[in-house]
């Protein structure tokens, strides 16, 4: 699609909401372009707790409809992306002084039944002294509960939605900022600027979608004079990663003394992910980072439960993300602000749809509702389609990850087991395209460290818009946890060398990176 032509929809923001709307709209035949000032999933959408879940804690705030919607979507997403989403069993130790057991059982009963659970096992009580998850816990914890949710590779979910949108004709433009938009009675004229070299182009669109995440309010001022009907509150959530605290595959859900929930989750084989915080945030969302107070808070939260204490000195990486939530009551308690989404359609002249809030789990329903609103304006007749259409790589036979992995193991016996497993977990059925004609490990090209080879870098550059080491090592993968600074530099040098051969278009430019604390 040439941007010199008028398009139907310009989406501002390349996080999960913008990507989901782009995929849905392009699949319904709309002419779509998406611009993102950084990499895809550069900020909030790569800084989640990596869960597709109903949100057990939201039951405390009586958000039954949100939990039901999310639980139903958990089933759908597990079906369309079985390579990057998989079941995870959570253990909740029972602390009598926090909640009576009957209340937890009632909450878990609702959690099991609100969303029509079909794929995952039901909740149950456990005796922690006889359960694998009891081993690292303090001896005073003897009873608990376990229930099901799912893990998701969050940034990859964004990329896969953008890949599918592009396959349906959308133009995906990372590293491209919308710096202005003027409306008239017939549409929008938006000015897009490369964040690499400052080159500008203008796009004519019938409608805008403001899915700018924590910049939604700033973008609202650029596109319309109508303020939101409720206050927009920016909330920062921070996570820490430490060397693994346990050897089993269960995750934990703990309650801190202030009533907040903190998770401790197996992460990338050798680590444990702990999070999250909820802090009202003021400042540039791109500069959000975990404060010393947040790190201490998360350590204290898990130390109430684990036998061996965790200290800030154990932390090998931290990350933070900022969400823009619609705060109807302007609550001072960030945890009490609803995680549901709201769509605001302004039709005073050319239409603009602004997206507030939302969760990764409900991104597809948000996109579907957005298309209903968009369809009313642009006369779209095509109906919903994304619920049973696999995301790229998700079309493994019968959605059987283990069966597909076994088939590739037999087909490529020369590939190391750990590498093949990681590739199938990241790329699913597209692993075959990544391997290409390679018949030995040497055919994968240069080895950069850990299990990163040139073949994968080439695949990510050519198929997934990766242009920087951060794109590869912290969003398309988490290999940044395993590489030295010198190896990271070698990855960036390779990408820079490749980029020089193609530089000149908006789709190959580089951008400044999200601030990250930690080893890379």
Each residue of 251-273: pLDDT tens digit? 999 999 888 999 999 999 999 99
126 pLDDT higher than 60? yes
Contact 211, 11 (CB under 8 A): yes
pLDDT at 221: 77
Q: Is the pLDDT of residue 232 over 90?
A: no
Is residue 37 domain-shared with residue 170, that is, in the same domain? yes
Q: Is the peptide bond before 280 cis (omega within 30 degrees of 0)?
A: no
Indicate the pLDDT class of residue 333, thresholds 50, 70 and 90: low
CATH number of the domain bearing residue 265 = 3.30.9.10
Say whether both 332 and 239 belong to one domain. Answer: yes
User: What pairs with residue 221 in β-bridges?
Assistant: none
Q: Would 52 be classed as within a structural domain?
A: no
**Residue (of 164, 152, 159, 157) closest to 24 by Cα position:** 164
Q: Is 520 or 92 the better-scoring residue by pLDDT?
A: 92
d(CA 306, CA 184): 60
Is 329 within the bounds of a domain? yes
Smallest Cα–Cα separation from 196: which of 506, 476, 497, 465? 506
Query: From CA 34, how far away is CA 163, in angstroms rounded?
Result: 12
Structural domains counted in the chain = 3
What is the rounded distance in angstroms from the CA atom of residue 169 to the CA atom of residue 205?
15
Q: Give the pTM.
A: 0.94
CB atoms within 10 A of CB 430: 21
Same domain, 215 and 307: no
Residues 111 and 236 reside in one and the same domain: yes
Task: Look at residue 268 in the predicted model and tell me its pLDDT.
Answer: 97
Residue 76 counted as domain residue: no
Place of tokens 């794109």: 471
Shared-domain flag, residues 361 and 459:
no
* Structural domain boundaries, residue 429: 397-505
- Are residues 248 and 376 part of one domain? no
24: nearest Cα among 352, 368, 351: 368
| CATH at residue 414 | 1.10.8.870
Q: What pLDDT, on the 0 to 100 scale, is given for residue 507?
A: 42
So what's the pLDDT on residue 339? 66
Q: Give the C-alpha separation, 215 to 280, whole Å.
A: 15
**510 assigned to some structural domain:** no
Place of tokens 């009675």: 185
Task: Give 457's pLDDT tier (boundaries 50, 70, 90).
Answer: very high
The answer to the question of residue 60 being in a domain is no
| pLDDT at res. 227 | 54
Query: Which has the closest alpha carbon to 296: 316, 280, 315, 323?
Result: 315
Q: What pLDDT, on the 0 to 100 scale, is given for residue 216?
A: 92
- Do 250 and 102 fall into the same domain? yes
d(CA 147, CA 136): 19
Is residue 115 domain-resident?
yes
Residue at 53 is within a domain: no
CATH number of 212's domain: 3.50.50.60
Shared-domain flag, residues 415 and 266: no
- Element (DSSP H or E) covering residue 67: helix 64-80
| Pairing assessment for the beta strands 341-346 and 188-194 based on DSSP bridges | unpaired
Considering the domain architecture, whether residues 186 and 163 belong to the same structural domain is answered as yes
Q: In percent, how much of the chain has pLDDT > 90? A: 82
- Do 132 and 175 fall within a single domain? no
Give yes or no: residues 412 and 348 share one domain. Answer: no
Contacts of 101 (CB under 8 A, 6+ apart): 94, 143
Burial class (CB in 10 A: 0-12, 13-18, 19+), 183: buried
Query: What per-residue confidence (pLDDT) applies to 508?
Result: 36
Lowest mean pLDDT among 42-51, 93-102, 325-334: 325-334
Same-domain pairing of 166 and 144: no
């Amino acid at each position: 699609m040439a941007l010199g032509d008028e398009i139907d929809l310009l989406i501002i923001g390349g996080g999960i909401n913008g990507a989901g709307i782009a995929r849905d709209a392009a699949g319904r035949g709309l002419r779509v372009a998406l611009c993102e000032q950084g990499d895809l999933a550069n900020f909030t959408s790569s800084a989640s707790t990596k869960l597709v879940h109903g949100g057990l804690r939201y039951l405390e705030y009586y958000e039954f409809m949100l939990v039901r919607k999310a639980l139903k979507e958990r089933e759908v997403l597990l079906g369309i992306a079985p390579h990057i989403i998989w079941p995870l069993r959570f253990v909740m130790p029972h602390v009598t002084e926090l909640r009576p057991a009957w209340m937890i059982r009632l909450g878990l009963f609702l959690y099991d039944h609100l969303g029509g659970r079909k794929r995952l096992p039901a909740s149950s009580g456990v005796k922690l002294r006889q359960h694998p998850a009891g081993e690292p816990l303090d001896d005073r914890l003897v009873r608990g509960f376990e229930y099901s949710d799912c893990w998701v590779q969050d940034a990859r979910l964004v990329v896969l939605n953008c890949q599918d949108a592009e396959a349906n004709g959308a133009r995906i433009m990372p590293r491209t900022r919308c710096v202005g938009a003027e409306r008239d009675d017939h549409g929008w004229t938006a000015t897009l600027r490369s964040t690499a070299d400052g080159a500008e182009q203008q796009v004519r669109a019938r409608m805008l979608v403001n899915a700018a995440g924590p910049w939604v309010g700033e973008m609202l001022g650029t596109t319309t004079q109508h303020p939101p009907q409720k206050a927009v509150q920016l909330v920062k959530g921070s996570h820490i990663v430490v060397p693994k605290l346990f050897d089993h595959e269960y995750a934990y859900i703990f309650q801190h003394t202030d009533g907040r929930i903190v998770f401790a989750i197996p992460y990338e084989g050798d680590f444990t992910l702990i999070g999250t915080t909820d802090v009202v945030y003021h400042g540039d969302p791109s500069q959000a980072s975990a404060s010393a107070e947040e790190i201490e808070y998360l350590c204290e939260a898990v130390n109430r439960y684990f036998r061996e204490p965790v200290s800030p000195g154990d932390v090998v990486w931290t990350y933070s993300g900022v969400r823009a939530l619609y705060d109807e009551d302007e609550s001072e308690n960030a945890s009490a602000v609803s995680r549901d989404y709201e769509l605001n359609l302004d039709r005073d002249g050319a239409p603009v749809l602004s997206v507030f809030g939302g969760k990764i789990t409900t991104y597809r329903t948000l996109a579907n509702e957005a298309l209903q609103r968009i369809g009313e304006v642009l006369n779209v007749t095509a109906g919903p389609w994304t619920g049973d259409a696999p995301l790229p790589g998700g079309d493994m036979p019968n959605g059987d990850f283990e069966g597909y992995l076994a088939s590739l193991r037999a087909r490529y016996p020369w590939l190391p087991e750990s590498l093949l497993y990681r590739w199938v977990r990241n790329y699913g059925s597209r692993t075959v395209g990544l391997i290409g004609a390679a018949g030995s490990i040497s055919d994968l090209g240069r080895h950069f460290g850990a299990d990163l080879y040139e073949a994968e870098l080439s695949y990510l550059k050519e198929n997934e818009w990766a242009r920087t080491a951060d794109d590869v090592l912290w969003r398309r993968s988490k290999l940044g946890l395993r590489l030295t600074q010198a190896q990271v530099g070698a990855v960036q040098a390779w990408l820079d060398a490749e980029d020089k051969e193609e530089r000149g278009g908006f789709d190959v430019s580089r951008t400044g990176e999200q601030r990250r604390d930690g080893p890379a």
